[in-house]
Structure 1
Amino acid sequence: MLKRLWLWLGRLLGRLTLLLLVVGLGGWGIGALYYASKFSGPVSSEEEIPPGEAELTRGIIDDAIRIVEAHRDNTRVLRGAHAKAHGCVRAEVSVLADLPGTLRQGVFRDPGKIWQAWVRFSNGNAYPQFDRVRDARGMAIKLLDVPGEKLLGESEQDFVMFNNSVFFVRDVAEYRSNFAAQAEGNRILAFFPGWDPRSWEIRHLLIALRTLAPAPESPVRTTYNSIAPFKFGPHNIKYRVVPAESGCPAYEPPEQNRDMPNFLRSTLYRQLSLDRVPACFELQVQRQNPEHYMPIEDTSVEWDEDIAPFETVARITIPPQDFDTPEQNLFCDNLSFNPWHALPEHRPIGGINRLRKAVYEALSTYRHERNAAR
């Protein structure tokens, strides 16, 4: 009797498993066909600004200031995102000596040119937390003493990147609803705003989960992406920074105690300040091919690298240095990075970049005024 019961249960579980497998594969197939039809070219090579974007942006700024105030560190106002730095380090950005003519644009117009720069490595959260917590990781680069009129009147050229190739929202409208839900502490509503399944953003939830990754071995041993597109002279491009595999001394960081709150800063300090070993990256661009689905206004879509391969335009070298001092940490905290600190040849494009211009500028002004930074 008991044997027959177990056999019956086994057959039932087997059939249920087979049914779930068939349903899962069917759903995956339908989804693949849907996205293949939806994500097909050609696309526009120009920006397309939807109505109401300015009003949505004002609402996002209000929510961002509310979050910044909620995460105040005693008397200091922190950044609205990437609040925790692993360090700001001096670097040199060298334009390739044999750069092709079509890629000689803006700060890359002179082959062999070497720019002095600051590089800030960070965690993505708006509140400093242990490095072992799953999080986005950021890299911001500021080229110094760049001549020419800038879009925001600064003397620097900034590049702002983080460790995923896509963003978990497509445009300003979705960012507004997603961010508002998170500001209220309703993270589920950020991706499931209502009972209608058509409003659910499961693909974007998966992107967000992939972005919140375990910490890398070191801030200098991971890849960073611009996510949003930019002008590059006549081209539309995305930026990427990858660790250089050649031309830099081989270095294997010692295993870190991941229970320590700041082990990413520790491993960076160990390499640059104690072991005196430089770190190297390549700065690359990916040119849009508008005949394929490489949209400007949707940052949740990855541009196909097989169709549009990345091309190296410069090399970043971070020399050995002592960076972890109270004075430099305060200097790092007061630095502002904005992709609109740029030459017109590198103008940010697309909705998320238009949003960045307003939000970054508003939060930077607010933060510096509240902190009385000079």
Structure 2
Amino acid sequence: MTDTRQQSVRNEATCGGVTGHEVTGGARGGTTVHQATSGASVHQATGGAYEGFEAYMGGSPEAERRRFEKLARELLRVHGPVPGGPDGSNAPWLPRAAPAKAALGVENARLRFRDDLPPELCVGYARPGADYPAVVRLSTASGAERHDASPYLRRMAVRVQAAPEEIHDLLATSFPVSHAADAREFVAFAKATAGAGGTVEKAFGLFVRLPLAVGWATADRMRRNVRIATRHTVGSLARETFWSRGAILWGPAGPVRYQLRPAPGGTPAPPPDRGDPDYLHRELAMRLSIGDIAFELCVQRYLDDRRTPVEDGSVEWRECDAPVVPVAVLTVPRQDLDSARARSAARRVERLGFNTWHTTEEFRPLGNLNRARKAAYEAAAAHRPGPRPHTAAPRRAALLCAPVRAAFGLVDRVDRWVPWHRLPAPLGLLNPAALGRTLGRLGLTGADVSEGPPLPAPAPASTPAPAGERSGTAAAR
């Protein structure tokens, strides 16, 4: 069950009511009819099995791609191109944080589907009793340097080797929804906080620029979802639940969202060890020294566009509407994580590029945010043969003018001798150090607050899509 401490803001707003996007418009040469009556939705589509469940920005894949390219240009004007995309290519890419801090990286896990897998969910590699080797990585959700006891998002990445030329990457985060409903909101959030070198500028971006870009209600929902998602302190990654956030196709069964939750049994999570910055790794090492760690792979099936939207990543699929169905068990076997062999395996896992599009057509990722990730992957692949761009970091525009920054800096220096709470009220409220501590407690000062689609520089129109994307032979993230 979803932890009641981690209820998304959009979910709070929809409980007991109905929200969603009424969608009209074609899907890749076919027609799509979304009929919402009595909680039911009827999809009629031609072409691929997924087309009846997706609605493209602008009404077509081509129009949506042009919008993605426009969003990428907007971000590049703010950030500038940065070499070395997450797949290791030389493609211009939006700035990303340093590699996330990993607590676990193993190559000897196994994913076994249940013997009683429902017939309607028996698709492709998902077969009753089927057992596959898997790679598992548990880490923070960004590369910001953080103590393990710091409340923040965590991430699980799983690579299932279904056949010699067939892999399936499953990516999940320790919060059920994204802060952004779609790529447009993601870009608006990134632009609002770009160039914020200090806590005051970050606050200005979140509380002034963001509302002007997306509206007050949407900005409030985004800020609150970020705050709720990043306030949970983890005692053990083996006892955390991880959600896919976005939907994927499950063959004829239609869209699903998946989650990886702790298997029944197991030792409860201990209190966080605030004296050990790497205690999450040590806690996992202790567990694996005495036994296996297991997670249940579960799915929630699509109902309709109101209760289980595909295009809006900020809406939680409530378990009371879409029950959780266990389909497989992911097992990390007992082992010594501190052995030379295990450390070598962990280094190899660190070099892997996990991508939701490393899968087959039967399990195609769905929704606007996933399609934005695909656009990023394709553009990065298209740019691989090109020359390496200049490596200097771009200069970012400041959000506040120089006199205002100087004034805040002066108040900040005063704080070295006079605590902010002893200053007159107007000066105390302007103190960036005090504001920074407050925003820090709310989880609003970290970089890369949630996983969003890194949009690349637009690829030339004549560049073909990369070969082998369905088989997952390329490494991209």
Tell me, what secondary structure is at the counterpart of 2:345? helix
Cross-structure match for 1:267: 283
Q: Structure 1 residues 262 and 310, CA, compared in 2 at 3 Å: closer, same or farther? A: same
Cross-structure match for 2:233: 215
- Alignment deviations for residues 111-160 of structure 1 (CA, whole Å, 9 cap, x no partner): 10111101100101232322122211000100125356xxxxxx421000
Gaps of 5+ in 1: 1-27, 70-77, 149-154
- Alignment deviations for residues 277-302 of structure 1 (CA, whole Å, 9 cap, x no partner): 11111101111111643211110011
Q: Structure 1 residues 280 and 202, CA, compared in 2 at 3 Å: closer, same or farther? A: same
Cross-structure match for 1:16: none
1:93-242 matches, within 5 Å, as: 93-108=111-126, 110-146=127-163, 155-185=166-196, 186-188=201-203, 189-190=205-206, 192-193=208-209, 199-200=215-216, 201-234=219-252, 235-242=254-261
What displacement does 1:183 show? 3.4
**Corresponding position: 1:47 with 2:65:** no
Mean CA deviation greater in 49-58 or 337-346: 49-58
1:1-374 matches, within 5 Å, as: 36=17, 38-39=19-20, 42=36, 45-51=52-58, 52-56=66-70, 58-59=72-73, 62=76, 63=79, 66=82, 80=97, 83-89=100-106, 90-108=108-126, 110-146=127-163, 155-185=166-196, 186-188=201-203, 189-190=205-206, 192-193=208-209, 199-200=215-216, 201-234=219-252, 235-246=254-265, 250-252=266-268, 255-272=271-288, 275-290=289-304, 292-324=306-338, 325=340, 326-359=343-376
Aligned mates of 2:16, 2:286 — CA distance in 1: 46
- Is the Cα contact below 8 Å between 1:61 and 1:359 reproduced in 2? no
What displacement does 1:361 show? 6.6
Q: Which amino acid aligns with 1:174?
A: E
What displacement does 1:322 show? 2.6
- Is the Cα contact below 8 Å between 2:19 and 2:306 reproduced in 1? no
Q: Structure 1 residues 331 and 215, CA, compared in 2 at 3 Å: closer, same or farther? A: farther
- Is the Cα contact below 8 Å between 2:18 and 2:307 reproduced in 1? no
- Alignment deviations for residues 35-67 of structure 1 (CA, whole Å, 9 cap, x no partner): 945448836752112144321453488559659
- Alignment deviations for residues 335-356 of structure 1 (CA, whole Å, 9 cap, x no partner): 1110100011110011111122
Tell me, what secondary structure is at the counterpart of 1:173? helix
- Is the Cα contact below 8 Å between 1:57 and 1:355 reproduced in 2? no
Tell me, what secondary structure is at the counterpart of 1:193? helix
What displacement does 1:33 show? 8.9
Aligned mates of 1:65, 1:271 — CA distance in 2: 43
Mean CA deviation greater in 92-101 or 37-46: 37-46
Aligned mates of 2:80, 2:236 — CA distance in 1: 29
What displacement does 1:193 show? 2.5
After TM superposition, the score normalised by the length of structure 2 is: 0.60
Aligned mates of 1:68, 1:267 — CA distance in 2: 34
Gaps of 5+ in 2: 1-8, 23-35, 44-51, 59-65, 86-94, 390-474
What displacement does 1:190 show? 4.2
Tell me, what secondary structure is at the counterpart of 2:155? strand
Q: Which amino acid aligns with 1:224?
A: F
Q: Structure 1 residues 195 and 327, CA, compared in 2 at 3 Å: closer, same or farther? A: closer
What displacement does 1:312 show? 0.8
Aligned mates of 1:218, 1:33 — CA distance in 2: 31
- Is the Cα contact below 8 Å between 1:161 and 1:227 reproduced in 2? yes
Q: Structure 1 residues 277 and 297, CA, compared in 2 at 3 Å: closer, same or farther? A: same
Aligned mates of 2:258, 2:267 — CA distance in 1: 25
Q: Which amino acid aligns with 1:91?
A: A
- Is the Cα contact below 8 Å between 1:91 and 1:116 reproduced in 2? yes
CA root-mean-square deviation: 3.5
- Is the Cα contact below 8 Å between 2:20 and 2:309 reproduced in 1? no
